């Protein structure tokens, strides 16, 4: 009960601190809040407290890794992001592993390539083309205090080339606590915490930092049927609020179907959308191989976004 009290107090302090400094401002490097894991992505992006998907934990919550059923997970995914809008093709990589019974490490990498666009000079004449690029690099550490309580911290380096000669970059951090009790997990922390960046004109932009709360329920019935449900909520420094809810059904630890919904207003980092997806996995002895797909529907800006990836675990 003391652990729950500490997490509740910590979450309250985080939200209070962010509320005190909240301001309405444009945010830069928003690509850093895209869900890279196709399994979590198929559940509306909800999964910050899930211990079943640790391959991409450096993008969500490193504290889940020591509680994962697997000793090591790695994943590689491809995203056709917003093909009907600001289209980009993204390659995402993540890996997480336990070091003994207490410590764990995680890492991640993203290379995101947007559509090429035409450049004009001050007179409006054609002046070549440019292809924006985004990059993210993560390194994280987690520690398991007890069988119920763990913590994790992740360093992130974010970089964006959005016009010829214009580059934005900054470090950012995630810090989380995770509390586990029977079939339910609770997570609280700060996501993508960092300072502001400036463009060529000297205008400052905040990065999308938020206080994050998450809950996860995972239950197996009759040894072969498993249901997992997750809910996440983010309160941003900008004053915006987003929430996500999702669920998956897995049969015989082999095939999963997933669905979810993400709430966000039009000026949020990610607007509202719904998701569907599925996954298969199979073990060859102690080693497992999985394939997951997520698809976004119900959004004018993100409609038809597809994320597909493979995962190796043991």
- CA max distance for the chain: 71
* Residues β-bridged to residue 147: none
Q: What confidence score (pLDDT) does residue 293 get?
A: 98
Do strands 210-221 and 204-206 pair parallel, antiparallel, or not at all (unpaired)? unpaired
User: Is 58 in a helix, a strand, or coil?
Assistant: helix
Check if the beta carbon of residue 36 is closer than 8 Å to that of residue 92. yes
Go through the domains of the chain in sequence order and give each one's CATH number: 2-117+131-313 (2.40.160.40)
Nearest to 272 by CA among 85, 82, 44, 23: 44
| CA 98 to each of CA 2, 70, 225, 255: distance values in angstroms, whole numbers, following the listed order | 26, 8, 27, 26
- What tens digit of pLDDT does each residue of 11-44 get? 444 444 444 444 444 789 999 999 999 999 999 9
Res. 202 pLDDT band, cuts 50 70 90:
confident
Helix (H, G, I), strand (E, B) or coil at 132: coil
Average pLDDT, the chain: 89
- Contact call for residues 98 and 69 (beta carbons, < 8 A): no
Supply the pLDDT for residue 85: 85
Q: How far is CA 177 from CA 26, 98, 130, 191, in A?
A: 29, 17, 42, 12
From CA 117, how far away is CA 75, in angstroms rounded?
31
Q: 173-196, pLDDT tens digit by residue? A: 999 999 999 999 999 999 999 988
The helix (H) or strand (E) run that includes residue 12 is: helix 2-21
Whole-prediction pTM: 0.88
* Mean pLDDT computed over 246-274: 95
Q: Would you state the pLDDT for residue 226?
A: 98
pLDDT digits (tens, 9 = 90+) for 121-171: 566 666 666 678 999 999 999 999 999 999 999 999 999 987 656 789 999
């Amino acid at each position: 009960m003391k652990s729950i009290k500490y997490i509740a107090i910590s979450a309250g302090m985080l939200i209070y601190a962010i509320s005190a400094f909240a301001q309405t401002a444009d945010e830069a490097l928003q690509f850093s809040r895209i869900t890279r894991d196709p399994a979590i992505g198929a559940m509306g992006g909800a999964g910050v407290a899930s211990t079943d998907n640790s391959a991409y934990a450096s993008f969500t919550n490193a504290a889940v890794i020591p509680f994962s059923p697997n000793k090591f997970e790695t994943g590689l995914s491809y995203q056709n992001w917003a093909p009907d809008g600001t289209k980009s093709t993204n390659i995402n990589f993540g890996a997480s592993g336990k070091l003994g019974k207490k410590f764990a490490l995680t890492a991640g990498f993203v290379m995101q390539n947007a559509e090429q666009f035409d450049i004009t000079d001050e007179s409006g004449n054609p002046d070549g083309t440019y292809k924006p690029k985004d990059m993210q690099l993560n390194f994280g550490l987690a520690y398991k205090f007890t069988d119920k309580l763990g913590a994790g911290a992740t360093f992130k380096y974010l970089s964006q080339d959005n016009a010829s000669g214009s580059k934005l970059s900054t470090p950012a951090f995630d810090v989380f606590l995770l509390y586990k009790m029977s079939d339910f997990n609770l997570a609280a922390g700060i996501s993508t915490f960092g300072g502001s960046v400036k463009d060529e004109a000297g205008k400052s932009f905040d990065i999308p930092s938020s206080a994050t709360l998450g809950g996860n329920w995972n239950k197996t019935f009759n040894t072969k049927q498993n249901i997992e449900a997750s809910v996440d909520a983010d309160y941003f420094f900008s004053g915006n609020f987003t929430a996500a809810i999702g669920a998956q059904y897995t049969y015989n630890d082999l095939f999963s179907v997933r669905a979810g919904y993400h709430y966000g207003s039009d000026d949020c980092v990610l607007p509202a959308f719904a998701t569907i997806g599925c996954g298969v996995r199979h073990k060859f002895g102690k080693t497992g191989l999985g394939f997951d797909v997520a698809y976004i529907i119900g959004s004018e800006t993100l409609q038809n976004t597809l994320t597909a990836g493979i995962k190796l675990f043991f």
